[in-house]
Amino acid sequence: MSVTLLASAASVQAAIPSPSQHTWYLGPVPVRAYALAILAGIAVAIWITTKRWVARGGDPDDVLDIAFWAVPFGIVGGRLYHVISTPEPYWGEGGDPVRALYVWEGGLGIWGAVALGAVGAWIGCRRKGVRLSSFADALAPGLLVAQAVGRLGNWFNQELFGAPTTLPWGLEVSPGVIERLNADTGTAFGAGTLFHPTFLYELLWNLGAAALLVWLDRRYRLGHGRVFWAYVALYTLGRVWIEMLRIDTAEHVLGLRLNVWTSIVVGLGALVAFVVIGRRHPEREDGVELPGRSRDRQDTEQATEPDTESDTELDTMSTAHAGAAAGASGRDDGRDSGGGPHRADAGGPGPDQGPADRA
């Protein structure tokens, strides 16, 4: 009897508990853990991307401007992919189509987010005159970290866990979640059943893959989008085995979950793209700006900045002329004519006028 109690206590202590609450209220305003995790992930991704973008020669302000387009596009795309790949809660028997709009309940498909987010990033990059491939390379590790942080939202929502397990890191979920799971999948899991914490597996995989990307990029100076394609290949490799552990409702094709097939196809495509681009462009690109735009930006800066060299020449000529006139008249004007440069007469900017802002 004592041995049984000790074993039970050890298994309870070893299990990973699920948070008992996922929403808090500031007056009438709900604050949801899932939304906080997504926002925190976006903030971390922007910070990491900015550091990497500057290291590649980009303007730090570019990242926020591009994110202004990429983030909303990505959220819409992620939600669309989730609703299409998991239609039962919305369009199936007893489903509620309006719930497809409830993003805060969880459910953002990464491939929809990446695909439509790339469209938004392309718009932002075109407006800034920079290469999409260069921005994607700077973004890739930060995107993985953002996905890792976002998985904490799944933990608070008690969703996206895997099959039952007896491992010491099994995940505890509330009895109500188990009841809904049994109703949705036709299973008969009892209260207290532990499940694979697939959200944690993906979180750790993503962080490891992000670190590997940073190392590969520094070691081999990858460019022309190769860091991004390496991200896709690494992520899909982990997603295949993690997805096969999950037991929540999903579309199946030829006996496999749709996300498994998607990961296989996209991963192979990414591997091919990584190799082909590497053969065509073994070296990193010289700059992040689009071809023909770097010179345009330099010309704009030169046109808006004062021509200090011309001003100096004019000042020297003015001083020499004044000195010659003083010598001819026999007056000692050396102190007056040798004074500071007359920028107002030379056509240069006044003392309060600085270089114009970058166009």
Look at residue 315 and tell me if it is in a domain.
Answer: no
Look at residue 316 and tell me if it is in a domain.
Answer: no
Look at residue 317 and tell me if it is in a domain.
Answer: no
The alpha carbon torsion through 133, 234, 82, 106 (nearest 10 deg) reads: -100
Q: H or E element: which one contains 128?
A: helix 110-128
CA 279 to each of CA 86, 223, 266, 323: distance values in angstroms, whole numbers, following the listed order: 39, 12, 20, 66
Look at residue 345 and tell me if it is in a domain.
Answer: no
Give the mean pLDDT of 83-110.
80
Q: H or E element: which one contains 29?
A: strand 29-32
Give the mean pLDDT of 303-321.
46
214 pLDDT above the threshold of 70 = yes
Which pLDDT value is given to residue 222?
Answer: 96
- Domain residue limits at 264: 13-290
What confidence tens digit (pLDDT) does each residue in 151-172 have?
A: 999 999 998 899 999 999 999 9
What confidence tens digit (pLDDT) does each residue in 63-96 have?
A: 999 999 999 999 999 999 888 877 877 887 777 8
Give the mean pLDDT of 284-311.
61
Higher pLDDT among residues 103 and 195, named by residue: 195
102: which residues sit within 8 A by CB, 6+ positions away?
none
How many domains would you assign to the chain? 1
Is residue 216 within 8 Å of residue 227, measured between CB atoms? yes
Higher pLDDT among residues 347 and 194, named by residue: 194
196 pLDDT above the threshold of 80 = yes
Angstrom distance (rounded) from CA 54 to CA 185: 49
Which pLDDT value is given to residue 334?
Answer: 42
How many other β-carbons are positioned within 10 Å of the β-carbon of residue 176? 10
Look at residue 80 and tell me if it is in a domain.
Answer: yes
Look at residue 169 and tell me if it is in a domain.
Answer: yes
Angstrom distance (rounded) from CA 355 to CA 340: 20
What confidence tens digit (pLDDT) does each residue in 242-271 have?
A: 999 998 877 888 999 988 999 999 999 999
Look at residue 334 and tell me if it is in a domain.
Answer: no
8 pLDDT above the threshold of 50 = no
How many other β-carbons are positioned within 10 Å of the β-carbon of residue 179? 12
